[in-house]
Structure 1
Amino acid sequence: MQTSIIKTSIILFVVVTIVFSTIYTPQAILPTLKGVFHISVLEINLLLSGMLFVLMIATPFYIPISNRFGKKNIMIFCTFFLFLSVLLSSITSNFYVLLFSRFLQGVFVPGITAIMLSYVQEIYPKNHRGLGMGIYMAATSFGAVIGRLLAGWITFLYSWRIAFLVFAILLFIAFFAMIFALPVNKTELTNKRVINKDALFSFLSNIKILSVLIIPTIVFFSFMAISTFATYHLAQEPFNLDASQLGNIFLVLLLGVIISPLAGRYSDIIGRLRIIYLGIAILILGIFLTLSQSISLVIAGLGLVTMGMFSVQSVTPTYLGELVPEKKATISILYQSFFYLGGCLGTFLPSIFWEYYKYNGVTSFCIALILIGSLPLAYINFNKKKEA
């Protein structure tokens, strides 16, 4: 049993890392791609924002499909077509074909990410589920780092097409790893969970739940905005970093691997909301530091932005599950949709501020959004304590 768990854990970590790395592949090389295609920041950022928008829309549709055809089968299918779409990215010289390939990736990625959360809880024994979820969360963070880091290095040494080709090869490896190494959950066909549409609408009309769902949206919005536009900021005077150096900057995202389990653990001790508020405060402080003219302070700021984001995202799903314990599957889908909405908008809307006000405008907008978006939850909980 122990050997089987170790094998499953290793394969799970590798597969999730590879899949999540493809989401963020273009981020470190956006300035390079902008120069290659001679287009605006708003247009080139569609490689991220457009993909995340499609991902957000596609996420809810995979749950009923996986209930019918089986989680592992759907994940294998989506991994293969994700491989083909990333391969298309590597062979095109046309921006619109590249953008189309990214949209395709947005269609197939949630067929793995949206299903994997419940799949992990089903393939691990009850007393090892915490281990499984910890490995999954660590792999998502590690994948975000690898996607940016490798893309920056490979683009600097070879070309952006080779960078996409490398990730296509990794996905092909993940495809076979899924087929031959990940177990099939033998009980899932007798334990189907259906997303209740009425519950979705009732949650969206519940002010308390909606105020909590806004938090991952604004936090991931700010994280994607800062990590995206920091690359443009650092590629300019006085920093003038190249593609490989920009890729190296994203090593700070490894802090997410460390902070995620710590935030979860301490939320059990001091409360979920306190960790959420603490994460928001750290995030804002980090954004302020990225405005510095010192590269060391900018890196420290990006580190704090990472810590703040992962602190909030590690605790929010658990807090939502505690608010509606009988509808965890439904609230999980809502959480993921709001989360990716934030990522989509976070690479699109700030482009407007960048065009007119550069990096100062982006950071000011993010801080204002975080403060305004946090007010409803703070107000509700303040009144709750007052009534108590």
Structure 2
Amino acid sequence: MTGNATQTGSMKFDTVVLGAGIVGVCVAVHLQKRGRQVALIDRKLPGNETSFGNAGLIQREGVYPYAFPRELGTLLRYARNQSPDVRYHADAMLKTAPFLWQYWRNSHPAKHAAIARSYSTLIEHCVSEHRALAADAGASALLRPIGWMKVFRTDAAQEAETRLAERWHNEYGVDFETLDPARLQQREPDLDKTLRGGLHYPASDSVSDPNALVTAYAKYFETLGGRFLIGDASTLGDEWQQWQVDTQAGTITASSAVIALGPWSDRLSARLGYRVPLAVKRGYHMHYAPRDAARLNHPVLDVENGYLLAPMARGIRLTTGAEIAHLDAARTPTQLAAVEPVARTLFPLGERLDDEPWMGNRPCTPDMMPVIGPARNHRGLWFAFGHAHHGLTLGPITGRLLAEMMTGEETIVNPHPFRVERF
């Protein structure tokens, strides 16, 4: 079913999902599977905004969301704005200062541990939910159950990261394997021979083409009877207890609406009266051909330098760390330029395969947790955004959780920590 035409010429659906990134697509799939007639709306084809460019990791080990650093030495290093893993635009710092202050406070070890207790309930299901959805969508070949690695250039970095891995294992059962130089070279023979060792997280999956995965999920949504439409989410309005959105196919109406617009979600929610503190961490990527028939078997994070190399369908993808900037600011891929020479010492990268660096925006909340649940002041309005570094990781479990909430089912996890009212 693709929606019913009304006497006014609009199309009628049960739910309209705004945003066709990984989160919005997964929400739409899970609602459609539960008998809802769903319209999925975006200004671009599914998976062509933030979901297009990422490291392709489904991070089962990610029970602690990425915290704001609290060590004085690290903060001073970041303040100089020369670090390869974090850069900032000076003109964005005043506006983002309140957000960063709350982010820093929530990163206190005690608060961070409390956040992890809630966050880990989502992470626990990230791999299983992706595998189930990929199987339904005929996309299992895009998932690689090989885990990923952190590699180290110094003993101090390896010791610090190993202590973290041990903590995650003791608290949440996260599996990891320590790799001495010989074992690391056995697994990744084309990496720099001077590396001190590595850590392997085997329970995580990786994706060979994130855009292809989101596209496959969206096509599965359509085979279930859902409808994807190019449209303008900013036209969302409610009239006579119905939500309306303008699309290229005409105006559509629905009794419920889901805002899953990633980094643009706060603009629409603010217009409806909700103040959600959302900021963006921008990231860049570039693809390279391997030199001399070199092969990269796992995604690999260079811990000391803050970039990741991942084998992708298009080539070896280099992804950068975080850039703090205004959402609409011009691209400044200085991090990519800074780490590319370092990455070439880690792995034999050849020529660039993209005409220009890709850039995307990670939507972040100051407590590092997504917003998932109802908007209390509007009947039939729901939120699903703010997943920061773990949008790809948490897309399917978020879609399932929100669909269960919207249809009155027993939820797979407790949704209370993710409510919008916490702000």
Q: TM-score interval w.r.t. the shorter chain?
A: under 0.3
TM-score (norm: length of structure 2) = 0.22
Answer 1 or 2: which has greater strand percent.
2
Indicate the structure (1 or 2) with the bigger Cα radius of gyration.
Answer: 2
Q: Give the alignment's TM-score, normalised by structure 1.
A: 0.23
